[in-house]
Amino acid sequence: MDFQFDLEPEDLKDELTAEDRPTSERRELEAPVPPPVPKRVRKKGPGVQSVHMLKQCRTARSLEKQYEKEIPWAVIPPEQHSVFRQAEEKQYDEHIKYQALEPLSLEESARVRECVDKSRILSSRFAYKDKNWSRRKLDSSLPWKLKARIVVSGHRDPDIGLLDTDAPTINRLSVLTIMQLVASRRQSHGWEASAGDITAAFLNGDALERVLYLRQPRSGLASLHPDQLLRITKGIFGLPDSPRKWWRRFRKDMLAVRLSVEGVEYKFVQNALDPCLFQLVPSDNEASEPAAYAGVHVDDILVAGDKKMSEAIRNALSSIFPVDDWEINSFDYIGSHIEVNDSGVFISQEAYAGGRLFQIDIGKGQEDEEPASEEQRIDNQSLIGALSWLGSQSRPDIQCSVSLAQQLQKNPSVADLKFTNQIARRAWDHRDKGIWLRPLKLESLEFLVYHDSAWANAELTGEDGFRLEYEDHVSGVMKNTPFDIKERKAKRANSKVASQFGSLIFLTDGEQYSAGGGIGSILDWKSCSEAIEMGQYVRSFVQTVLRGRLQRVQDLSGSQLKCITDCKSLFDHLHREGIPRIPSDKRLAIDLAALRQYLCEEQANGKPPLFWVPTEFQLADILTKPKCADSWWATVWGAVRLPFISKDATKHR
CATH number at residue 291: 3.30.70.2630
What pLDDT was estimated at residue 6? Answer: 34
Tell me what the mean pLDDT of segment 537-553 comes to. Answer: 96
For helices 531-547 and 586-601, angle between their N-to-C axes, nearest 10 degrees = 30
Reported as type and span, the H/E element at residue 379 is helix 374-393
What are the Cα distances from residue 252, in Å, to 8, 247, 256?
A: 36, 9, 6
What pLDDT was estimated at residue 358? Answer: 93
Q: Which amino acid is at 340?
A: V
| 213 and 118 together in one domain | yes
Interval 438-463: pLDDT, tens: 999 999 999 999 998 764 544 445 44
| 249 lies in some domain | no
Confidence of residue 604 (pLDDT cuts 50, 70, 90): confident
pLDDT at 608 over 80: yes
| 153 lies in some domain | yes
| Closest by Cα among 318, 409, 651 to 516 | 651
E-strand ranges in 497-649 read: 499-509, 517-518, 521-526, 561-565, 610-612, 640-641
Burial of 180 (0-12, 13-18, 19+ CB in 10 A): buried
Whole-prediction pTM? 0.84
| 380 and 452 together in one domain | no
| 485 and 625 together in one domain | yes
| 20 and 139 together in one domain | yes
| 251 lies in some domain | no
| 254 lies in some domain | no
| 500 and 613 together in one domain | yes
pLDDT at 517 over 50: yes
| 91 and 188 together in one domain | no
| 551 and 447 together in one domain | yes
Interval 224-256: pLDDT, tens: 999 999 999 999 999 999 999 999 999 999 999
pLDDT averaged over the chain? 84
Q: Where is the domain boundary, 389, 404, 429?
A: 429
Give the C-alpha separation, 31 to 45, whole Å. 36
Q: Where is the domain boundary, 333, 348, 363?
A: 348
What are the Cα distances from residue 475, in Å, to 123, 196, 337, 566?
A: 60, 47, 36, 9
- Give the β-pairing of 300-306 and 146-152: unpaired
Name, in order, each residue with C-beta under 8 angstroms of 129's C-beta and a sequence gap of 6 or more: 69, 70, 71, 146, 147, 148, 149
Q: Which amino acid is at 234?
A: K
| 247 lies in some domain | no
Interval 353-382: pLDDT, tens: 988 899 999 999 999 999 999 999 999 999
Confidence of residue 58 (pLDDT cuts 50, 70, 90): confident
Which residues span the domain enclosing 276?
172-198+260-348
- Bigger pLDDT: 52 or 163? 163
DSSP designation for 370: S
| 215 and 306 together in one domain | no
| 66 and 45 together in one domain | yes
| 365 and 338 together in one domain | no
Q: Where is the domain boundary, 242, 273, 300?
A: 242
Per residue in 511-542, is it b (16+ CB within 10 Å) or e — as a string? ebbbebbbbbbbbbbbeeebbbebbbbbbbbb
- Bigger pLDDT: 137 or 220? 220
Give the C-alpha separation, 604 to 652, whole Å. 12
Q: Is residue 608 within 8 Å of 575, Cβ to Cβ?
A: yes
Interval 295-333: pLDDT, tens: 999 999 999 999 999 999 999 999 999 998 899 999 999
DSSP designation for 649: H
| 332 and 372 together in one domain | no
Confidence of residue 579 (pLDDT cuts 50, 70, 90): low
Lowest-confidence pick of 37-46, 263-272, 463-472: 37-46
End-to-end CA distance of the chain: 67
Name, in order, each residue with C-beta under 8 angstroms of 621's C-beta and a sequence gap of 6 or more: 452, 502, 566, 615, 627, 632
| 255 lies in some domain | no
What pLDDT was estimated at residue 10? Answer: 39
Interval 432-444: pLDDT, tens: 999 999 999 999 9
What pLDDT was estimated at residue 527? Answer: 79
| 469 lies in some domain | yes
Confidence of residue 40 (pLDDT cuts 50, 70, 90): very low
| 58 and 24 together in one domain | yes
pLDDT at 556 over 60: yes
Give the C-alpha separation, 500 to 491, whole Å. 9
| 600 lies in some domain | yes
pLDDT at 586 over 60: no
Domain count for the chain: 4
